[in-house]
Amino acid sequence: MLRWLIGGGREPQGLAEKSPLQTIGEEQTQNPYTELLVLKAHHDIVRFLVQLDDYRFASAGDDGIVVVWNAQTGEKLLELNGHTQKITAIITFPSLESCEEKNQLILTASADRTVIVWDGDTTRQVQRISCFQSTVKCLTVLQRLDVWLSGGNDLCVWNRKLDLLCKTSHLSDTAPTEGSLEWDILEVKRLLDHQDNILSLINVNDLSFVTGSHVGELIIWDALDWTMQAYERNFWDPSPQLDTQQEIKLCQKSNDISIHHFTCDEENVFAAVGRGLYVYSLQMKRVIACQKTAHDSNVLHVARLPNRQLISCSEDGSVRIWELREKQQLAAEPVPTGFFNMWGFGRVSKQASQPVKKQQENATSCSLELIGDLIGHSSSVEMFLYFEDHGLVTCSADHLIILWKNGERESGLRSLRLFQKLEENGDLYLAV
């Protein structure tokens, strides 16, 4: 199987004792990604990947350039130059199905306090927006409203024609901008239930969303009335004599409890927490599977694949593939709550927790089994993209992008192309 192709082996970072990290042998029979292509174009950390269509993706990072690639061949298609400092966010803005023009826009934000809008088809620069007073750190699209938002010290709402519809300062309300009487940003409700910074947020569906904090709190919210549907707290046990700030300070060691990233499906929320992975059941309102030490360092990105599989990448330079497997829990065996404690703030009374415990004992638990370990990067893997037909794309602090290919599929495609070539040259005669 693949071992360090670039820059030596991987060492656990900051682990004095033997790591409980789950390992897999050289023969990774369930891992389809046995071939790779190393793509070189950047000369600094590559932090972002975004899918443009079924066969193209773009990469961006600290060198300030955007590179467009062919996901099938790994060919570099275009290089977009316009920013003078590192890129802080990139997103695509697809056109509405009702629109006659089907052009897709690419939006990039940079530490140079600009946002550049590119045409997704021709990749020409449509417009450069330079009215920001600070760095734009995030971009998002509200597809149903056909608008996009830029966030930094200010929150701005823009339409597809790049008109500024409204703007508000950080945590304050302002009057609508001139010429934008129909648009305004109003604070509906401020949710103050987290004890520390919120690091991750994801929509589960139109009715609920999930947030995760620096101190390991996971909260599921009702998106209609802003009430809390469920609350999970990490394993650390607050002592009565400590105030909140002291508790948080004690628990920040190595970011072992921070929720860095979420992904979800209709049944579960998959959370990257410190060095671990946790599967939270939306129906049962509890953690049903976990790998407390999925990687040697913090997990930065996680995504769900078909066939109950999960991919995670980490600061330790690894990319790992997991499979969620069901296992029937014995009635006499206590079900661990994993990383989180159940239900509500503080401690739950013994009496109140009895029905929950009985429900857990009768429930079906799951496990996360390691089925693949992709070792090719020599530094932190920042994120990845999954293409159903073209494989997996990873980007890293080592300035490289790796396109991981399904070896069996690629072998079949090469054989097919060979037969087609022989047939074109008249060297292949088919028996009737």
Q: Could you tell me the sign of the dihedral formed by the alpha carbons of 76, 77, 80, 81, in that order?
A: positive
Average confidence score pLDDT of the chain? 80
Identify the CA nearest to 292 among candidates 10, 15, 20.
20
- In this prediction the pTM is 0.79
Mean pLDDT, residues 217-229 taken together: 92
Nearest-angstrom CA–CA distance, 46 and 61:
4
Sheet holding 259-264, edge to edge: 259-264, 268-273, 276-281, 286-291
**For the stretch 126-162, what's the b/e string if a residue is b when 16 or more beta carbons lie within 10 angstroms of its beta carbon?**
eeebeebeebbeebebeeeeebbbbebebbbbbebee
Q: Is the pLDDT of residue 57 over 60?
A: yes
Find which of 12-26, 230-244, 348-362, 395-409 is predicted with most confidence, using mean pLDDT: 395-409
Sign of CA dihedral 417, 420, 422, 424: negative
* 152/255 Cα distance (integer angstroms): 24
- Going from the C-alpha of 178 to that of each of 59, 128, 182, 358, 381, the distances in angstroms are 36, 21, 10, 60, 44
pLDDT, tens only, 324-360: 998 765 544 454 454 444 333 333 443 444 444 444 4
pLDDT band at 313 (very low <50, low <70, confident <90, very high): very high
Give 3-39 pLDDT, tens digit per residue.
333 333 444 443 333 457 888 877 788 888 989 999 9
Query: Which has the higher per-residue pLDDT, 224 or 362?
Result: 224
Taking phi over 0 as left and psi of -120 to 50 as alpha, with beta for the rest, 64 belongs to left
Residue with more model confidence, 343 or 187: 187
Going by pLDDT thresholds of 50, 70 and 90, the confidence category of residue 244 is: very low
CA 204/CA 206 separation, integer angstroms: 7
Tens digit of each residue's pLDDT (9 = 90 or more) over 87-106: 999 999 988 765 656 678 99
- Position 198 pLDDT exceeds 50: yes
- Look at residue 75 in the predicted model and tell me its pLDDT: 96
- pLDDT tens, position by position, 252-279: 454 678 999 999 998 999 999 999 999 9
